[in-house]
Amino acid sequence: MKAWHALLLALSLHAVDAENLTLEHRAALQEIRSGLAVHSDADTPETRAHSAKLKELVEAHQPESGDHLLSIISNPADKLNKAAVLLFVKSWESMSAQQIESYCQSALVLKVEARKRYPQGVDAWIGMSYGSMYDFSSWPWHGETYESPLFRTHGTCFLDGDQNGKPYNFYGPQAGVGGIRLKDLALGKHTCSMVLDYDFMHHGKMLKGSMRSRDSEFEIISSSAPNELIAPKDPKVKKLVEESFEFEETIPTPVFNGPLYFSGTNAPVAVKFPDRWDPQMTWKSSSGKQRGVHLPCWKVAQKLPVDLCFKVTILDTKTQERFPCTSIILRKGDVHEYCFLVDDGESFTRGRSGFISIQVILTPSRELALTSLRVSRYYPETITSPVMNAKVVEGD
């Protein structure tokens, strides 16, 4: 009954009476649905042939077949939803402008990441972005690039009904568009939302559409309100976090026991691995010279019972200068590793060359915790690395 209702909904896009469907169309739509039910993400000759057959069915029975896929795509709870999205994308060129527009309204997801309340004066942020149901697989590819240059977006943030900041323009099916800075907002209730306008080329014509998120309500409360997100200090948790959070000057170069061969050949291949002190950040200085910096790395390989929300600072142990770096937010139970990245490489490397003695200071941040909806209880103590080396590199 549910499938028949979805079919009627799909056909309404073209005002086609379901009773007038030919037997051939009925059989094709049923075959498409049955084919979606056995969809596999595996990339094998069999799955490619199955996918090609379904694509041929869709193309041969438009517009009913495309509308049938849209009826499934519009219902995220349908167990065939992902398979229908992937088939729709494969059949992109056979879709009408109206079908592509309907697809955009279902496939694009607007995100306004607002909590219910924020203490006044805290420099937190409500982030706004748009994405897709299944990330990049929700959109067609042309070779190594997305069709995104034909898909242009304009994201606008709103606070209490008024535009907040300038629109953010982008090409592609997902991006952050900005947000609402909360530090200076008055006490009381507020609303925020975002609008996404987009245009795209399809069959040589420019088509336009627009989406608006629901209003998200939040309240600015007293600055003296208790910190509801910070975890209590616990010696056992402190020991676990400090032992689990690893600092490394470099990531070790991979080691192979024996020669490396390309597939299908018998000749060993000489492989030059990058120097482990190679810079992670490079740029051209004002003098035109290439400069770069290598900073230490961090790793959490063990699942922790608390979130990590750190503002990161690099301390030059010789001059005692401090330089802000990219923050760290790691949800409890997650593991991750990455390198530290200084916000302003030019300032950090100015007057420095070669190896530099530094320490990394991780300071728990209420602002970061409030900004990220993933955070529910964050670690409350500062972590300071041992003295380590960074390296400034200068080229020609």
Within this chain, do residues 331 and 268 fall inside the same structural domain, yes or no?
A: yes
- What pLDDT does 9 receive? 44
Q: Which domain holds residue 355?
A: 235-394
Listed range (115-129, 336-350, 369-383) with the worst mean pLDDT: 336-350
Structural domains of the chain, count: 3
Within this chain, do residues 329 and 205 fall inside the same structural domain, yes or no?
A: no
- What pLDDT does 143 receive? 46
pLDDT band (50, 70, 90) for residue 129 = very high
Within this chain, do residues 375 and 304 fall inside the same structural domain, yes or no?
A: yes
Last residue of a domain, one of 199, 221, 243: 221
Within this chain, do residues 277 and 382 fall inside the same structural domain, yes or no?
A: yes
Is residue 37 a part of any domain in this protein? yes
- pTM of the prediction? 0.80
Within this chain, do residues 325 and 258 fall inside the same structural domain, yes or no?
A: yes
Is residue 101 a part of any domain in this protein? no
Is residue 8 a part of any domain in this protein? yes
Stretch 262-286: mean pLDDT, rounded? 66
243 Cβ contact list (under 8 Å, min separation 6): none
Is residue 74 a part of any domain in this protein? yes
Residues 346-386 pLDDT 10s? 899 988 889 999 999 999 999 999 999 999 999 999 999 99
- What pLDDT does 309 receive? 97
Within this chain, do residues 251 and 160 fall inside the same structural domain, yes or no?
A: no
Within this chain, do residues 253 and 362 fall inside the same structural domain, yes or no?
A: yes
- CA dist 340 and 83 (Å) reads 39
Within this chain, do residues 152 and 27 fall inside the same structural domain, yes or no?
A: no
- What pLDDT does 150 receive? 64
Is residue 226 a part of any domain in this protein? no
Within this chain, do residues 197 and 315 fall inside the same structural domain, yes or no?
A: no
